[in-house]
Chain A
Amino acid sequence: MRRTLVLLGGIGLLALLLTPATGSASSAARAAQVRAQTAQDTLDFGRTLYQQGCVSCHGLDPAGPSNYSTVPSLKDVGGASAVDWVLRTGRMPWRSTVGPAIERGKPKYNESETRALSLYVGEAVGDSDLPTVDIGQGDVKRGRDLYAQACAACHGMNGAGAALGGANIAPSLRDMAPLDTAEAMRIGPGVMPVFEGGDYDAAGVNSIAAYVHSLKTGADDVGGAPIGGKGPVPEGFVAWVIGLGALILVAKRIGGKT
């Protein structure tokens, strides 16, 4: 009797193990179980990284207060999108001891580490949404129009960036990945406002990202060297130093000296 039970149990187990995933309920449950396991691994990995690299400034609990008054709590900076953005652009971990953490840099964490940290913090603060962007779906023309309405005032129509009073600046957008654009609009990093909903839905974001991406190539600098792209001030400098400067040198060579 015992041997029969064992045999049946073994066949049953074997059947279970060898049955292909045709039964959806059971395989979905399995898949979910696998995902949950992976997700939990990711979150654990993220927590480990957080405790190694972020706790000293941001505090043990991401959703709680930070350790310094000058460091914002991660509670309402924009959740997983924000973490993804600062890590991918190398703005965090913070390197400089003065000034706002606005400088781009070499990212410290690789893709899976970044993802783990983002999801961990996102789960802790209750905002795990990571935006997706597809500039192929975007319309550069509409993007230019939306950009002129929303972004040009601070970042300049050609994305060269500008000062914002205080010691703030709106950085140059001429070297942005499309995901950077999408995340920044959703987060409103630093002093930047949030651009979400209404015209800034998925299609709007795709279009704006497409326009910002077009600034990267510099293909519409057909007139020659863009001289920083900051308008008449550097142009005036070039006119005086190079233009008039060269001509004064010519005059000194041609004319007399007495």
Chain B
Amino acid sequence: MSMLERSVKYVDERLGAASLARKTLRKVFPDHWSFLLGEIALFCLVVLIFTGVFLTFFYTPDARLLTYEGAYAPLRGQEISAAYESTLRLSFEVRAGLIMRQTHHWAALVFVAAIVVHLCRVFFTGAFRRPRELNWVIGVVLLLLAMAEGLTGYSLPDDLLSGIGLRIVNAVVLAIPVVGTWIASLLFGGEFPAPDIIARLFVFHVMLLPAVLLGLVGLHVAILVLQKHTQFPGPGRTERNVVGKRLWPEQTFKSVGLLMFTTAVLAGLGGLAQINPVWQYGPYEPFNVTSPAQPDWYIGFLDGALRLAGPWSFQIFGYEISELFLPAIVVPGIAFGIITLWPWVERRFTKDRAEHHLLDRPRDAPLRTATGVAGLWAFFVMFLEGGNDIFGVLLDVSVESITRTLQVAFVVGPVVVGAATYFICRSLKTSQLHPAKANAGLSLRRTAAGGYETAPLDPTPLEGDGHGDGDRSRPTAAVPASEGRPPAP
């Protein structure tokens, strides 16, 4: 018996693992590239954990002051916190310290970006419908946890930029009605800038949040395996099967390949693109500030919301509702509330209680797609406003004009963009054209006499009608008139 066979026998005799392993390895997963987006996020998480553990050995979560005598000359002799000092030491004096730190930070940015793109894929294809509502909620919670991990993480070095960010977090907590001042004092350990906050953020970042995050990731993947992955409609694909390649060997090889490429991209960025140069910002002093001042991108939409809002503060019987309440608490609360509860919101409108394992194309659900695009537009406007001073310098316009334009774009834009998307979806559904490929417009043909005439449209129909019966015998002209007209010449 070979070594491998002996090992398998050893484990199987104790755990009975062979038959379970066989079933698992033969599981079928569909093959579309957009199903790999969640994996990209997962592999970013792997890189985050690997680099993060390394960082934990060098970082000191202590706000106590000491005098810097390290390698970065302009700061020598300065009184800085031990947390900041340990970050400087890691960046300048620990071999491979800077690349691990930068890779960790780039991985965090790409992690949340991948989650967002994955969420969009799931949303626009309707993969959150029954029986996957629970996994959708877990996914949204994972997004929020990832954002919280990022916020707590980049605040650990106690540099000027992240310290300013913590000041704003404190102000937002203060803005909570009735209990805000208490929560702020308990969370921070006193009035800002209470030094305890660094150590507490460390506990969240390294212990509490990763524990919940990893647990939920495990649950997220387990539910996916149990319920089997969804698939796009196509030949041979029905609601009662899943068509694709087996976990072993094809999908394993491809996933390993994707893991390698993810690590490659993140390591490349980590070595070649400088990120969060905390030595340049200097240590956090509550009376200093630097410009421009923004948080990492995934918190940037909140920063933008705060810039976008007007000076709307209210008084109720002598009590104050802060001007931060609406943009920092109400609007994100409603937005994420709708996102989390979307499967039930949509069901109220569609009355669709059936199980769905076949995905929609975005055009097949015009209302859903239009709402999603409108929501993305609103988020995008908030992001842009978050960088309004940088764009002002770039485009040579005043900060005020950018703000006014984006305020209008925030209110009017979602309606306009949503309506346009809705009608585009309806039109694409009727004409069966691929939005990027086929020619949906006028086509001119030169006649023998030298003049021009319009040639008849020749749309390239997609396979089937998108609902899994794979029946290509139905001609496109049979589209009922009530669905709308073909694209106008």
Which A residues have a C-beta under 8 Å from some C-beta of B?
A: 99, 140-141, 143-145, 148-149, 152-158, 161-163, 165-167, 169-170, 211, 214, 220-227, 229-240, 242-244, 246-248, 250-258
Minimum CB–CB distance for B296 against chain A, Å: 5
Task: Tell me if B58 counts as interface (CB < 8 A to partner A).
Answer: no
For the complex, what is the distance from the CA of A227 to the CA of B273, rounded to whole Å?
Answer: 7
Minimum CB–CB distance for B413 against chain A, Å: 20
Minimum CB–CB distance for B392 against chain A, Å: 4
**Shortest beta-carbon contacts, A-B, top 9:** A236-B297, A255-B33, A223-B274, A256-B31, A162-B291, A239-B109, A163-B389, A158-B280, A251-B36
Are A243 and B109 in contact, CB atoms less than 8 angstroms apart?
yes
Are B37 and A251 in contact, CB atoms less than 8 angstroms apart?
yes
Are A222 and B92 in contact, CB atoms less than 8 angstroms apart?
yes
Are A163 and B102 in contact, CB atoms less than 8 angstroms apart?
no
Task: Tell me if B141 counts as interface (CB < 8 A to partner A).
Answer: no
Can you name 8 A-B residue pairings with CB atoms under 8 Å? A152-B282, A156-B290, A162-B389, A233-B386, A242-B265, A247-B114, A248-B37, A251-B36
Task: Tell me if B367 counts as interface (CB < 8 A to partner A).
Answer: no
Q: Which residues of B contact A158 (CB under 8 A)?
A: 277, 280-281
Which B residues have a C-beta under 8 Å from some C-beta of A?
A: 30-37, 40, 72-78, 91-92, 98, 102, 106, 109-110, 113-114, 117, 160-161, 232, 234, 254, 257-258, 261-262, 265-266, 269, 271-277, 279-282, 285, 288-298, 300, 386-390, 392-393, 396-400
For the complex, what is the distance from the CA of A193 to the CA of B278, rounded to whole Å?
Answer: 27
Closest A residue, CB atoms, query B266: A243
Q: Which residues of A contact B262 (CB under 8 A)?
A: 247
Are B274 and A226 in contact, CB atoms less than 8 angstroms apart?
yes
Are A165 and B400 in contact, CB atoms less than 8 angstroms apart?
yes
Are B33 and A251 in contact, CB atoms less than 8 angstroms apart?
yes
Count CB-based A-B contacts (< 8 Å).
204
Q: Which residues of B contact A256 (CB under 8 A)?
A: 30-33
| CB-contact partner of A163 in B35, B271, B300, B390, under 8 A | B390
Minimum CB–CB distance for A220 against chain B, Å: 6
Q: Which residues of B contact A144 (CB under 8 A)?
A: 74-75, 282
Whether A230 contacts B292 in the complex (CB less than 8 A), given A157-B160, A244-B114, comes out as: yes
Minimum CB–CB distance for B475 against chain A, Å: 22
Are B274 and A225 in contact, CB atoms less than 8 angstroms apart?
yes
Q: Which residues of B contact A226 (CB under 8 A)?
A: 274, 277
Are B300 and A236 in contact, CB atoms less than 8 angstroms apart?
yes
Q: Which residues of A contact B98 (CB under 8 A)?
A: 222-223
Are B390 and A233 in contact, CB atoms less than 8 angstroms apart?
yes
Q: Which residues of A contact B275 (CB under 8 A)?
A: 223, 235
Whether A163 contacts B234 in the complex (CB less than 8 A), given A227-B273, A248-B117, A255-B33, comes out as: no
Q: Which residues of B contact A214 (CB under 8 A)?
A: 74
Q: Which residues of A contact B160 (CB under 8 A)?
A: 148, 152, 157
| CB-contact partner of B258 in A242, A251, A258, under 8 A | A251
For the complex, what is the distance from the CA of A153 to the CA of B300, rounded to whole Å?
Answer: 20
Q: Which residues of B contact A250 (CB under 8 A)?
A: 258, 261, 265
